[in-house]
Structure 1
Amino acid sequence: MKITRLVPIILHAPVTRGSIADSTHSITHWGAPGVAIETDAGLTGYGFSGTHAHLATDRLIVDCAVHSYGPLLLGEDPREVRALWEKLHKHAPVQWVGRAGLTHLALGAIDIALWDLKAKAAGQPLWKLLGGSAAKKVEAYNTDGGWLNWPIETLVSDCRRLVESEGYRAVKIKVGSPDPATDLRRLEAVRAAIGPGVRLMTDANGKLTLPEAIRLGRRLADYDVVWFEEPTAFDDVLAHRRLVEAIETPIALGEQLYLAAQFRDFIHAGAVHFVQPDVVRLAGITEFWQVADLAHSYSLPVVPHVGDMCQVHQHLCFAHPGCRLLEYIPWLRDWMKHPAQIRDGHFIAPEAPGAGMEPTADALARINRA
């Protein structure tokens, strides 16, 4: 089997209620720029990144994938995924202009598409190809009811619905309001609504200074918060280490880290408790696995960020022993041929061959019209 062509694809899916916001961003659509990798065997692999649906930058990602990396893949056997990843990762012209950022997002989309092809060629879902088990319990925690732009009444209603009607036993809400007292009122209201038996997480999306994070973080234990996610500057290892020393609530981070070496530094410094690699921001499944193995060797739980809207990450969670909990946000659900399925607050192991990122015919038709 040989690669014959790379085709650029850009999907822009609407988010919940038309607009969502955290402490630093407000968006109306989730972007999935990526590629279809075609072969002479009639199989096609799909891989996507995850963005805030900015068309100009999404085009840069797919252009890098197709024109900078693509020529290196033509004629290659897509099943030799790790060797191809090394070849692309060390490609000097691309590495010279960026060892992270856009180039990493492009490489991640390609790597996912290659693993998709490898699993399809084997006739297996990716989690099975990677040695996982459908009997494993992978719990879902839901973030899609906890946005910072929701009024407190909507926030409480959504979190209660997720727990009482949809079976989730873990929810996450956003913090980082201009007034910390607002965050505390929202936390208090949600905890009262969902009760003590449901896990509650918080996420500041890197908004806070270290003093602000310490001040808010010291109050989180009052509401039995499981973790304080991305409390301060994404890349600041020392600040997170100081926060670990100052508060009781564990720290979660990783969605904004591009390199396995960055995770190494946070883990070695004792600056993180819940490790959150994102397959679309790391350079795909190949580098994700490196990070997951590293975290697991330190007995740290791996709880992936869901930049792929849980399509690929569900496979990785069923496969990797360090993963037992995964974020759920359904924005790409109607755009995927085999969307992630939740039952009683847990993911159901996918049955279709591949990595789960194949768009529906309708999604592809809309892209073609664009």
Structure 2
Amino acid sequence: MTASEPAGRIVRVRLSSCYLPLATPISDAKVLTGRQKPMTEVAMLFAEIETADGQKGLGLSYSKRAGGPGQFAHAREIAPALLGEDASDIGRLWDKLCWAGASVGRSGLSTQAIGAFDVALWDLKARRAHLPLAKLLGAYRDSVRCYNTSGGFLHTPTDQLLVNAAASIERGIGGIKLKVGQPDGSLDLKRVEAVRKHLGDAVPIMVDANQQWDRPTAQRMCRIFEQFNLVWIEEPLDAYDHEGHAALAQQFDTPIATGEMLTSAAEHGELIRHRSADYLMPDAPRVGGITPFLKIAAQADAAGLLLAPHFAMELHIHLAAAYPREPWVEHFDWLEPLFNERIEIRGGRMLVPTRPGLGLSLSEQARSWTREQAVFEHRA
């Protein structure tokens, strides 16, 4: 750092395109209905931002099945806009990055690319304050209820499903989510019945149809599932069918959860305005990072909604801890090989890390899975 260089000035940005292989191809209802192929890898976009005084922040975004190269390409184009800027001006920098690529829109792939930068800036800010991100944001709790999803996919036979569910509860995870939405709804019913019987009435269970029901089917299945005392029924309809979700939320006792596929604060605003969910499920990387996530959370809290952020528990544990109403966090162990640190689970809850920032550093494994990098430096 030179004498004239402000300490918080951004002097270096590194982008990495990393592909995380999955041990088993993953199938949900979108695969069984022929809309998608089984998922074999997750494309991760990492942003590492460094300031003139040597402080660093780490951010991430991701894409499943397709879009990884596009996210990296867009991030590479807009990254130079950060150089020479004050890293503390996070809101202004989000707008600057958004306008740098505004011709391709303010949602979708473009904002997902911004998300990696935005998360890195918040991580950096918390590290500079020597605080965990949750504490910087204003935590309401030091642990969050968590549920497991990765053991309940549709490619998993029912007998193995029971083993996975019991193992998760034994490990200290608080709830189990099962994938449903098969073309033959009776198969969904049998799987849910089997898990409920195996775990007993006290264990929280959720189901996720991954947008694969039409309105009549959703009506029928939500009515059938009322008997199981589920925590929620997730994505029974297309992600943008606000009216359909609202009708289900009004009609049934079982809460409706949705929102993970939306890619902007504005889209979530419409979901909230229509009262389409009891549980809102924003995904910070998908909506463009922590900055828009906080806008969504403020709207959701004002509307009296519950919160259950989607995926990326390493990030969302902090954001959920800072939500006023008791939330849930989705436990996915897929991303664990990418980081040197682990999140602790105890008594059905995920403990908020006490390390500064996100409390994460990239592992050597993540570096070895990196296919492409780009580095940008500020010349004073």
Please confirm whether the aligned pair reaches a TM-score higher than 0.5, indicating the same fold.
yes
TM alignment of 1:241-260, pairs within 5 A: 241-260=246-265
1:353 to 321, 338, 356: 356
TM alignment of 1:160-309, pairs within 5 A: 160-163=166-169, 165-306=170-311, 308=312
Q: Which runs of 5+ in 1 are unaligned?
A: none
TM alignment of 1:1-370, pairs within 5 A: 1-15=8-22, 17-25=23-31, 26-52=38-64, 54=66, 57-67=67-77, 69-89=78-98, 91=99, 94-132=101-139, 135-163=141-169, 165-306=170-311, 308=312, 310-367=313-370
1:368, CA displacement in angstroms? 6.7
Query: Is the 1:48–1:112 contact (alpha carbons within 8 Å) kept by the matching residues of 2?
Result: yes
The one-letter amino acid of 2:76's match is V
Query: Is the 2:17–2:372 contact (alpha carbons within 8 Å) kept by the matching residues of 1?
Result: no
Residues 136 and 366 of structure 1: is their aligned pair in 2 closer, same or farther, counting only changes over 3 Å? closer
Q: Deviation digits for residues 69-99 of structure 1, max 9, x if unmatched?
A: 212111011122122112223x1x5112122
1:104, CA displacement in angstroms? 0.8
**C-alpha distance in structure 2 between counterparts of 1:180 and 1:355, whole Å:** 41
Q: Which runs of 5+ in 2 are unaligned?
A: 1-7, 32-37, 374-380
Query: Is the 2:44–2:63 contact (alpha carbons within 8 Å) kept by the matching residues of 1?
Result: yes
In the comparison of the two structures, how many residue pairs are matched? 360
Q: Deviation digits for residues 316-360 of structure 1, max 9, x if unmatched?
A: 122222353111001111211323221222111212212244311
1:245, CA displacement in angstroms? 4.0
Q: Deviation digits for residues 143-192 of structure 1, max 9, x if unmatched?
A: 121101111111112112222x2123311000011100000000100100
TM-score (norm 1): 0.92
1:362, CA displacement in angstroms? 3.6
The one-letter amino acid of 1:64's match is H
1:241, CA displacement in angstroms? 2.0
Query: Is the 2:20–2:369 contact (alpha carbons within 8 Å) kept by the matching residues of 1?
Result: no
**C-alpha distance in structure 1 between counterparts of 2:368 and 2:56, whole Å:** 16
Q: Deviation digits for residues 119-162 of structure 1, max 9, x if unmatched?
A: 112222111111225x5341111112110111111111211222
**C-alpha distance in structure 2 between counterparts of 1:366 and 1:50, whole Å:** 14
**C-alpha distance in structure 2 between counterparts of 1:282 and 1:114, whole Å:** 16
**C-alpha distance in structure 1 between counterparts of 2:287 and 2:59, whole Å:** 13
Residues 298 and 237 of structure 1: is their aligned pair in 2 closer, same or farther, counting only changes over 3 Å? same
Structure with bigger RCO (C-alpha 8 Å, 6+ apart): 2
1:6, CA displacement in angstroms? 2.1
Q: Give the fraction of aligned pairs with identical amino acids, expressed as a percent.
A: 35
**C-alpha distance in structure 2 between counterparts of 1:271 and 1:132, whole Å:** 27
**C-alpha distance in structure 2 between counterparts of 1:191 and 1:64, whole Å:** 45
The one-letter amino acid of 2:334's match is W
SS in 2 for 1:50: strand
**C-alpha distance in structure 2 between counterparts of 1:46 and 1:24, whole Å:** 32
Query: Is the 2:173–2:346 contact (alpha carbons within 8 Å) kept by the matching residues of 1?
Result: no
1:31, CA displacement in angstroms? 2.3
Q: Deviation digits for residues 199-243 of structure 1, max 9, x if unmatched?
A: 110001111111111111111111111211011111111121232
The one-letter amino acid of 1:335's match is L
Query: Is the 2:19–2:370 contact (alpha carbons within 8 Å) kept by the matching residues of 1?
Result: no
Which shows bigger deviation, 18-27 or 291-300? Answer: 18-27
Which shows bigger deviation, 37-46 or 344-353? Answer: 37-46
RMSD over aligned Cα atoms: 1.9
